[in-house]
């Protein structure tokens, strides 16, 4: 089979590799669509290494059709259209037992410890099948729509951590596909005003299509002044950082009203630090938190939002890529040339 094999930073080669062989507890999936995440970009550049093997097949956002089913597997059959939750929790550690399976101490993941979706076929390990990490996709949803279920589920986790409420003023920093997911989820949650900050023109245009009330170019306008104007001079209830740029953390905190919440949703490069004025946190009683991955419940909620038509997936994706274009698909995400690159097989 064809697969994009990762050999180290900036070394990703399309190769002919052996088609996976499954045991009785596993499932073989024919990949119909996979998508490039910002984390894949960081892996490609060597900025994220935890859980990443070389050589290996990366890619953790994937959907497909079941090709083979192990004899011990129940409830799944050849031909089923399924989505894959990549994070496999142990369900036994302290965090799993206390409602935080997304940060499981022993978690493994498809696209990291197990080969991922930048290939024609992927083996779903028995631990993932047994944990409920395969989810059937409704027939009326296309694979190109369904492939964003996983990142949207992560954003649902982020919205919960940010505690977006009805009537809130919400600022989203970064207008990539993750930022536009947060725009849509904040509007669904009842936010009064959603302000997106993004310097790239076509992404601001898409943000307005996604439901943002304002799309601001921070290079030409004062985001701080606009937020104050939209919030009766108080500041934002919630700021969500959908890009991992450390020097923007302090300015993002400055956008909050007293008691507001800053959610650091995007991943940051290990070892790159950010300066923060602690007095802002102290005197304004603001909350700063983060978001990691998703729970299985988040995935099911995400899929239901897509299935019910509440999420505009068209503004989130750029289609037309194949495995032959994998490196270009990654570079286009890195450079902001499109939205989420979707690879169809």
Closest CA to 43 of 31, 62, 29, 56: 56
Residues composing the chain: 345
CATH assignment of 154-290, among 3.40.50.720, 3.40.630.30, 3.40.390.10, 3.30.1360.40: 3.40.50.720
Closest CA to 33 of 88, 87, 81, 70: 81
Residue 271 or residue 265, greater confidence = 265
pLDDT at site 50: 85
Per CATH, 2-148+316-344 and 154-290 having the same topology is answered no
Q: How confident is the model at residue 230 (pLDDT cuts 50, 70, 90)?
A: very high
Q: How far apart are CA 213 and CA 183, in angstroms?
A: 9
CB count in 10 Å sphere of residue 333: 23
Instruction: Name every residue whose Cβ is closer than 8 Å to that of residue 45 and which is 6 or more positions away in sequence.
Output: 9, 10, 334
Instruction: Name every residue whose Cβ is closer than 8 Å to that of residue 229 and which is 6 or more positions away in sequence.
Output: none
Q: Work out the end-to-end distance of the chain between its first and last CA atoms, rounded to an integer number of angstroms.
A: 12
- Helix (H, G, I), strand (E, B), or coil: what is residue 138? coil
- For residue 249, what are its two tokens? 């953390």
Read out DSSP for 287-342? EEEE--S--HHHHHHHHHHHHTT-S--TTTEEEEE-GGGHHHHHHHHHHTSSSEEE
Q: How far apart are CA 65 and CA 78, in angstroms?
A: 8
pTM above 0.85, yes or no: yes
> Are the beta carbons of 287 and 253 closer than 8 angstroms?
no
CA 219 centroid distance within chain: 26
β partners of residue 114: 110
**Domain spans of the chain, in order of start:** 2-148+316-344, 154-290
CB count in 10 Å sphere of residue 189: 19
- Average pLDDT of the segment spanning 152-167: 98
Angle made by CA atoms 298, 303, 304, in degrees to the nearest 5: 100
- Average pLDDT of the segment spanning 158-171: 98
β partners of residue 41: none
CATH assignment of 2-148+316-344, among 3.90.180.10, 1.10.1740.10, 3.40.30.10, 3.50.50.60: 3.90.180.10
Q: Please write the tens of the pLDDT for every residue from 269-315.
A: 888 899 999 999 999 999 999 999 999 999 999 999 999 999 999 99
Q: How confident is the model at residue 223 (pLDDT cuts 50, 70, 90)?
A: very high
Q: Please write the tens of the pLDDT for every residue from 75-94.
A: 999 999 999 999 999 999 99
- Helix (H, G, I), strand (E, B), or coil: what is residue 130? helix
Q: How far apart are CA 242 and CA 225, in angstroms?
A: 20
CA dihedral over 49, 51, 57, 60, signed as positive or negative: negative
Q: How confident is the model at residue 234 (pLDDT cuts 50, 70, 90)?
A: very high
Strands 61-69 and 56-57: unpaired
Closest CA to 44 of 315, 332, 256: 332
Q: Please write the tens of the pLDDT for every residue from 121-141.
A: 999 999 999 999 999 999 999
């Amino acid at each position: 089979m064809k697969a994009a094999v990762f050999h180290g930073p900036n070394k990703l080669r399309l190769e002919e590799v052996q088609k996976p062989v499954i045991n009785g507890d596993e499932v073989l999936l024919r990949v119909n669509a996979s998508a490039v995440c910002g984390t894949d970009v960081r892996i490609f550049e060597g900025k994220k290494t935890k859980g990443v093997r070389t050589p290996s097949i990366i890619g953790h956002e994937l959907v497909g059709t079941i090709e083979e089913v192990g004899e011990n597997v129940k409830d799944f059959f050849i031909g089923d259209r399924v989505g894959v939750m990549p994070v496999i929790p142990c369900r036994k550690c302290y965090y799993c037992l206390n409602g935080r399976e997304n940060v499981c101490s022993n978690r493994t993941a498809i696209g990291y410890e197990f080969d991922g979706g930048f290939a024609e076929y992927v083996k779903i390990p028995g631990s993932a099948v047994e944990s409920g990490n395969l989810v059937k996709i409704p027939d009326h949803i296309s694979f190109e729509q369904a492939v964003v279920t996983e990142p949207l589920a992560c954003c649902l986790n982020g919205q919960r951590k940010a505690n977006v409420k009805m009537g809130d003023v919400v600022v989203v920093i970064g207008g990539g596909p993750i930022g536009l997911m947060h725009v849509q989820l904040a509007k669904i949650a009842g936010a009064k005003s959603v302000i997106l900050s993004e310097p790239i023109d076509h992404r601001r245009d898409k943000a307005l299509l996604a439901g943002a009330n304002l799309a601001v170019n921070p290079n030409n306008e004062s985001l701080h002044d606009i937020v104050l104007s939209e919030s009766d001079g108080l500041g934002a209830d919630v700021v969500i950082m959908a890009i991992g740029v450390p020097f923007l953390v302090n300015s993002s905190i400055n956008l909050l009203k007293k008691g507001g919440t800053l959610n650091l949703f995007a991943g940051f490069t290990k070892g790159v630090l950010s300066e923060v004025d602690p007095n802002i946190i102290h005197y304004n009683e603001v909350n700063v938190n983060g978001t990691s991955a998703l729970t299985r419940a988040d995935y099911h909620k995400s899929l239901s939002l897509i299935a019910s038509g509440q999420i505009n997936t068209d503004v989130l994706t750029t289609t037309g890529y194949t495995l032959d274009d994998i490196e270009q698909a990654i570079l286009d995400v890195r450079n902001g040339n499109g939205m989420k690159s979707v690879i169809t097989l």
